[in-house]
Structure 1
Amino acid sequence: MATIKLYTKKDGTKAYMFNVYLGKHPITGKPMRTTKRGFKSEKQARLALSKIELDIADGKYTEIEKEKPKKTFEQIYWSWYEEYKTTVKESTLLKTERTFRNHILPAFGDKYIDEIKPLEVQEQMNKWHTKLVRSREVMNYTGSVFDYAMRFELINSNPTKLIRKPVHKKQVEEDKDLNFYDKDELKEFLRVAESMANERAFIFFRLLAFTGIRKGEALALRWSDVNFSGKVLTINKAVSRREKGLYIQTPKTASSIRRISMDDKTLDYLKKFKIDTESVDDDLIFRTDTGGILSQSKSRKWLIVIQDEIDKQREKPMKRITTHGFRHTHASLLFESGASLKEVQFRLGHSEIQTTMDIYTHISKSAKEKLAEKFNEFVDF
């Protein structure tokens, strides 16, 4: 008769296990035994043992075991994938597919899922940590497949729960702290941008700097989203990417859906741009020559061209910021004008106030550094 034993797992916690004789193999005639472990209580272990002993007595257990093929990690992944794809947007699904294809399946795909041990997972975690900034996220996705296998009783425990996930040390990057223009820098940038032949690029950066919207939100705007008489801009969608290409989707969070006020001058520029491009309300404001969705990389090219032109007109090169930096620029000007954190949070569409506070911290740090420079220039001794 099988005995239920208490044992200590590698993580130091206690659990119950048993080893039971199943009878002779129907083909080889060799004795068959199975070990079941990971039960949280003796009662759980006893119930599982009773079920197996009942199946043995009824002659069922041998057939069950014989007809139950082993599954690889990749086989379980595809079952998990069918369930997962119904819970996320296409853009998120595409990123997840790439993560599994590029990292997880090459590491675990061909291995039987019930034979993957914690030590093997830990070694893989350590490898990813040295190569990937998002190593913890990759391992979390790996764990979700093991969780799925546990739900269907294919394995007794999730090995990713027993490992340590190294943490990347945060480094303060100067570029991140300075990724915005002050009032004078923005004025110079827009002056040069307006003087160049690309009206679409000038309007794009003007809109980002004076509304703080994300570039994906800007590229999804239609003229019907601009209420010229009410001076309001409606944000309710964004450009994203899936396997088939670019498409427009609803934002990921409810807080991204918002209506924000606009200044008169930006509205005047938009009115002129609408006339110049012979647009109708249904058209995208920023579109390809054929009326399609512009790639988000297009703004990077516009930005480099304008920044290069500015440098030609200056003795000292101008600070370089990213397209996303215009969102920080808008936040900076809002804080400078006296706006509260909650007001900035709503205008930028942040779901968490902490995100707004992080931007404020970076902007404040840079402002303090510049204040010290101004003081030194004034005192001059």
Structure 2
Amino acid sequence: MLSIKQLIFKWFQVPSKSHNESQEITNTELEDMLFKDYFVKYLRSLDGSNRSRTYASMVNTSVHIIEGLGDYKMSQINKTVLKEFINGFTKKTYVKGNSEPQYYSQSQIDKVYNLLRGAIKEASDPDGDRLLRADFMANIKKPRSNRCKAPEIQALTDEEINMLSNIVSETKMISVWVHLMLYTGVRPSEALALKFSDIDYKEKTVDIMRTLSQEEFLDVTTMSRVKPRQPIITTLKNEREGQKVNLQRRTLKVGNKILDILKEWEVTVKNNSSLMEMKKRNGTEDYLFCGPRGQLWLYDDYKQVYERLLKKHGISASEYNPYRFRHNCCTRLFRLNVNIKAVQLIMGDNTSDMVMRVYANLDKSDVLKGSKAFADSLDLTLGIISDDVKQVS
């Protein structure tokens, strides 16, 4: 099977035939191309247009697409084939660890659907060699997952906050990380990219300016990693170049407890001469967090230390995932009647819709409390004394 480059080369190496004849041969050969050959080419074209971590996710997602559609010829791809594949994907199951077989999550289905849709659109565009006669994914609806919906993540209780605070205090580095997330609601990787110079002890603020990410080194052809992931410090998740107002970079007020923890940590780190020497060699001397040799660590490295600490105390690591501190912050902000726009800016999200849809998991008690406050205010307007006021008097 000829590659795209070989086909293009062949096109320019057939002088004995007319332009029309050469075009006809090329189109025929392109139609006989296997979908997996086209799809690998499409994936390569995306390399560099997204963050390394995002691209790695695309490559991992592509395994499902190539497995289901890879052996079809381009001439066989149509709406029926694509619809059967994407709808059939919702019926597939997989096994993770020792758990029972489970359906793929809505998030995974969305990734497969979006990646496939982009590839099909590209193949049908005039500048995509017209490998397909139409964008067959255009009118195929995104299917819904068959997995049972997981319980919504709830805010932490006061008892849980105190429990976790006491547990993580056994490991200073993790204590700093957890208390930062607890007080600010930042993404775990945003906290891990903080510098000592981002902290203003006098004003009691922390500047959120960057995030910890990772660079992936993948071979798209074999769908495998060619060398280990490398941690890197990069711009914030939703940050875009050229924005006049950057809502992701933010300055947040913090409390006395975390400031005391940060002061103690800064003294501990900067008084460790051997660690500081290694940090200087790695360019991490101003960063709060690093590995034992002063090098940048991956997010997973910190998460493993945190999970081992919880496991030591018989606490479920999945129940207290680092992102739960973010959910906790958002929900508590709403319970404190903080304006939704302010909540959005504190969380560093692009839209308030994201805040409401993902993080603000208020429960029935919040609904009852809010509706009661509104009803009491109307009673007061209409000259009715509420039962609560009667009982007090």
Taking structure 1 as the reference length, the TM-score comes to 0.70
Q: For 1:297 and 1:276, locate their aligned partners in 2 and report how far apart those are by CA, in whole Å.
A: 24
Q: CA deviation at 1:212?
A: 0.9
> In structure 2, what is the equivalent of residue 147 of structure 1?
121
> In structure 1, what is the equivalent of residue 197 of structure 2?
224
> In structure 2, what is the equivalent of residue 251 of structure 1?
236
Residue-by-residue CA offset, 1:349-376 (whole Å, 9 max, x unaligned): 1212122223565233476799xxxxxx
Matched, 1:193 2:168: yes
Matched, 1:351 2:350: yes
SS at match of 1:189: helix
Matched, 1:239 2:198: no
Q: Which amino acid aligns with 1:182?
A: T
- Which one of the candidate residues 153, 163, 184 is aligned to 1:211? 184
- Which one of the candidate residues 289, 293, 301 is aligned to 2:292? 289
Alignment of 1:75-114 (within 5 A): 75-100=37-62, 102-114=63-75
Q: CA deviation at 1:192?
A: 3.9
Alignment of 1:1-381 (within 5 A): 60-68=19-27, 69-70=29-30, 71-100=33-62, 102-131=63-92, 132-133=104-105, 134-151=108-125, 152-168=129-145, 171-174=148-151, 176-178=152-154, 180-194=155-169, 196=170, 198-244=171-217, 245=229, 246-254=231-239, 255-278=247-270, 282-307=285-310, 320-358=319-357, 361-365=360-364
Residue-by-residue CA offset, 1:188-218 (whole Å, 9 max, x unaligned): 3213432x2x111111111110111111111
Q: For 2:162 and 2:233, locate their aligned partners in 1 and report how far apart those are by CA, in whole Å.
A: 31
Q: Which amino acid aligns with 1:239?
A: L
Q: Say whether the 8 Å CA contact 1:73–1:112 is kept in structure 2.
A: yes
Q: For 1:136 and 1:269, locate their aligned partners in 2 and report how far apart those are by CA, in whole Å.
A: 41
Q: Which amino acid aligns with 1:96?
A: M
Q: For 1:106 and 1:203, locate their aligned partners in 2 and report how far apart those are by CA, in whole Å.
A: 44
* Seq. identity, %: 20
Q: For 1:235 and 1:67, locate their aligned partners in 2 and report how far apart those are by CA, in whole Å.
A: 53
SS at match of 1:362: coil
Q: Say whether the 8 Å CA contact 1:214–1:327 is kept in structure 2.
A: yes
Q: Which amino acid aligns with 1:212?
A: G
Residue-by-residue CA offset, 1:297-355 (whole Å, 9 max, x unaligned): 3444444455456669xxxx999422111112222333343422222211111212122
Q: CA deviation at 1:125?
A: 1.5
Q: Which amino acid aligns with 2:137?
A: T
Q: For 2:78 and 2:318, locate their aligned partners in 1 and report how far apart those are by CA, in whole Å.
A: 51
SS at match of 1:252: coil
Q: Say whether the 8 Å CA contact 1:284–1:291 is kept in structure 2.
A: no
> In structure 2, what is the equivalent of residue 24 of structure 1?
none
Aligned in 2, Cα 1:367/1:321: closer, same or farther, shift over 3 Å? farther
Q: Which structure: larger Rg?
A: 1
Please identify, of 154-163 and 205-214, the stretch whose mean Cα deviation from structure 2 is larger.
154-163
Taking structure 2 as the reference length, the TM-score comes to 0.68
Q: Which runs of 5+ in 2 are unaligned?
A: 1-16, 93-103, 218-228, 240-246, 277-283, 370-393
Aligned in 2, Cα 1:164/1:273: closer, same or farther, shift over 3 Å? closer
Q: Which runs of 5+ in 1 are unaligned?
A: 1-57, 371-381
Q: CA deviation at 1:253?
A: 1.1
Q: How many residues align?
A: 305
Aligned in 2, Cα 1:209/1:369: closer, same or farther, shift over 3 Å? farther
